[in-house]
């Protein structure tokens, strides 16, 4: 199948060089907002054009704490294993990022512990993993606008085995700090969504993240002063992708090209993953607004 055949939100593509393959994870469109999710699907490709699947990367075990809103899985290789970070929700617990592990990129992934690694009394989502210049793993995640009104992005160092935080979360920025962001409700409700970190060739640390812009769902770029995880962070004035698409991540192909994947449009059940070419520069990244052929 082609990407246009796959109803998936929040796409994340993991290149696996030893297999000469790519794995595509994401939020299943059919149960993104309602119903009981079966878990997380994964698709496999050797050329980023033709995909096979879906295969079941994660299926919740008996007694799993969450029963709804299985969102935004992403998979990273860390210390020889594969780790999935994903958002989950239940009536009894706040939404949070749970970390799961597997020996293979296709899974099956199993939960590390019985609870999220994000603060238990915060409504959180879209955790991503990034190792800083000292090799310390950080969880970067969003605190929901539904709780704090002006959505926030935090960073929290993790223990080396990724089982828990190693220190308290640090606030990086709020959504309203971006000039391009528009309120989703009233005049003081702003969304933060889908952070993803990337280091540019000159050492600059930047973050893709999504919110609501002038033309709907959009994705912007934040930059850390001095390339440090804790910032301070500043916002680019204009979004990187402005119209009805976002929750993006960057991947380096097996041939060395840098690509961006996002989902667009942002309307269920029409959302599909697309791939875009990316150009790096000392002051950020740029991309055409048309998908790869």
Residue 226 clears pLDDT 90, i.e. is over it: no
Local confidence band at 289 (pLDDT 50, 70, 90 cut-offs): low
**pLDDT, position 186:** 85
Please report how many Cα atoms fall inside a 13 Å half-sphere around the Cα of residue 205, on the Cβ side.
Answer: 18
Residue 161 domain-assigned (yes or no): yes
**pLDDT, position 286:** 80
**pLDDT, position 293:** 56
Residue 206 domain-assigned (yes or no): yes
Q: Is 170 helix (H, G, I), strand (E, B) or coil?
A: strand
Residue 293 domain-assigned (yes or no): no
Residue 291 domain-assigned (yes or no): no
Query: How far is 168 from 140, CA to CA, in rounded Å?
Result: 12
Please report how many Cα atoms fall inside a 13 Å half-sphere around the Cα of residue 254, on the Cβ side.
Answer: 14
pLDDT, tens only, 139-152: 999 999 999 999 99
**pLDDT, position 185:** 85
pLDDT, tens only, 91-125: 999 999 999 999 999 999 999 999 999 999 999 99
Local confidence band at 291 (pLDDT 50, 70, 90 cut-offs): low
Residue 177 domain-assigned (yes or no): yes
DSSP 104: S
Residue 223 domain-assigned (yes or no): yes
Q: Which helix (H) or strand (E) holds 143?
A: strand 137-143
Residue 283 clears pLDDT 90, i.e. is over it: no
Residue 141 domain-assigned (yes or no): yes
Residue 35's region, left for phi above 0, alpha for psi from -120 to 50, else beta, is left
- Count of domains for the chain: 1
Q: Which helix (H) or strand (E) holds 196?
A: strand 193-199
- Alpha-carbon distance values, 117 to 91, 120, 159 (Å): 18, 8, 11
pLDDT, tens only, 18-34: 999 999 999 999 999 99
CATH number at residue 256: 2.115.10.20
Average pLDDT of the chain to the nearest whole number: 95
pLDDT above 70 covers a percentage of the chain that reads 98
Query: How far is 206 from 51, CA to CA, in rounded Å?
Result: 30
Q: Which residues pair with 208 in a beta bridge?
A: 196, 221
Residue 288 clears pLDDT 90, i.e. is over it: no
Q: Which helix (H) or strand (E) holds 147?
A: helix 145-148
Residue 135 clears pLDDT 90, i.e. is over it: yes
Q: At 228, phi and psi to the nearest 5?
A: -90, 145
In which domain, by residue range, is 165 found?
3-286
- Alpha-carbon distance values, 144 to 12, 110, 114, 148, 163 (Å): 21, 26, 22, 6, 22
pLDDT, tens only, 170-219: 999 999 999 999 999 888 999 999 999 999 988 899 999 999 999 999 99
Q: Which residues pair with 55 in a beta bridge?
A: 42
* Closest among 268, 247, 271 to 33, alpha carbons compared: 268
How large is the average pLDDT for residues 36-43?
95
């Amino acid at each position: 199948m082609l990407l246009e055949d796959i109803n998936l939100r929040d796409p994340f593509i993991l290149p696996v060089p030893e297999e000469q393959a790519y794995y595509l994870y994401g939020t299943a469109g059919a149960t993104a907002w309602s119903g009981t999710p079966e878990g997380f699907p994964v698709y496999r490709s050797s050329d980023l054009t033709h995909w096979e699947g879906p295969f079941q990367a994660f299926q919740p075990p008996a007694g799993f704490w969450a029963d709804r809103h299985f969102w935004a899985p992403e998979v990273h290789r860390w210390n020889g294993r594969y780790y999935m970070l994903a958002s989950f929700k239940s009536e009894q617990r706040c939404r949070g990022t749970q970390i799961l592990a597997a020996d293979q990129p296709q899974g099956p992934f199993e939960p590390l512990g019985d609870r999220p690694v994000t603060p238990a009394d915060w409504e959180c989502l879209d955790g991503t993993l990034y190792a800083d210049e000292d090799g310390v793993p950080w969880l970067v995640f969003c605190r929901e606008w539904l709780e704090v009104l002006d959505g926030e992005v935090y960073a929290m160092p993790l223990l080396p085995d990724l089982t828990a935080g190693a220190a308290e979360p640090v606030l990086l920025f709020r959504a309203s700090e971006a000039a391009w962001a528009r309120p989703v409700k009233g005049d003081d409700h702003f969304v933060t969504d889908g952070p993803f970190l990337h280091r540019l060739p000159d050492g600059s640390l930047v973050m893709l993240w999504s919110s609501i812009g002038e033309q709907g769902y959009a994705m912007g770029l934040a930059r850390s002063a001095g390339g440090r995880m804790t910032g301070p962070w500043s916002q680019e004035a204009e979004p990187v992708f402005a119209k009805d698409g976002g929750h993006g991540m960057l991947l380096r192909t097996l041939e060395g090209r840098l690509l961006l994947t996002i989902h667009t449009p942002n309307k269920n059940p029409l959302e599909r993953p697309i791939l875009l070419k990316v150009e790096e520069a000392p002051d950020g990244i740029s991309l055409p607004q048309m998908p790869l052929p």
